């Protein structure tokens, strides 16, 4: 029996985990503005869905989880000019 220990380099699986919200097609016009501002918000795509949010890797050392979440909501409202329902979004899919 052969046991593989290590990273499988030919994997076609993609994934992400953000604190954010789903957006719809009418919000696509705002994508350019999102890319040109200095927030840490970004767009993630999974199948037919689009999400905007912030990765947990952007939590500052002196920032609490509640502060992180409020910053995401504040940045979203600044760009999209509306409120939304936010949650932790975890997605993984196979591209193959």
pLDDT digits (tens, 9 = 90+) for 14-68: 788 999 999 887 666 676 667 666 677 888 888 788 899 999 888 999 999 999 9
Question: What pLDDT score does 30 carry?
Answer: 72
Confidence of residue 87 (pLDDT cuts 50, 70, 90): very high
> Domains of the chain: which residue ranges?
16-90
Helix or strand or coil: residue 43? Answer: strand
Q: What is each CA distance from 1 to 4, 7, 9, 78, 91, in whole angstroms?
A: 10, 19, 21, 57, 33
């Amino acid at each position: 029996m052969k046991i593989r220990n290590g990273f499988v380099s030919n994997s076609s699986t993609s994934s992400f985990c953000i604190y954010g919200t789903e957006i719809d097609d009418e919000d696509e016009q705002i994508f350019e503005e999102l890319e040109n501002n200095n927030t840490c918000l970004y767009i993630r795509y999974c199948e037919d869905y689009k999400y905007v949010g912030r990765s947990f890797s952007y939590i500052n050392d002196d920032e609490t989880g509640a502060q992180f979440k409020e910053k995401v909501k504040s940045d979203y409202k600044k760009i999209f000019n509306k409120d939304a329902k936010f949650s932790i979004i975890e997605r993984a899919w196979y591209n193959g």
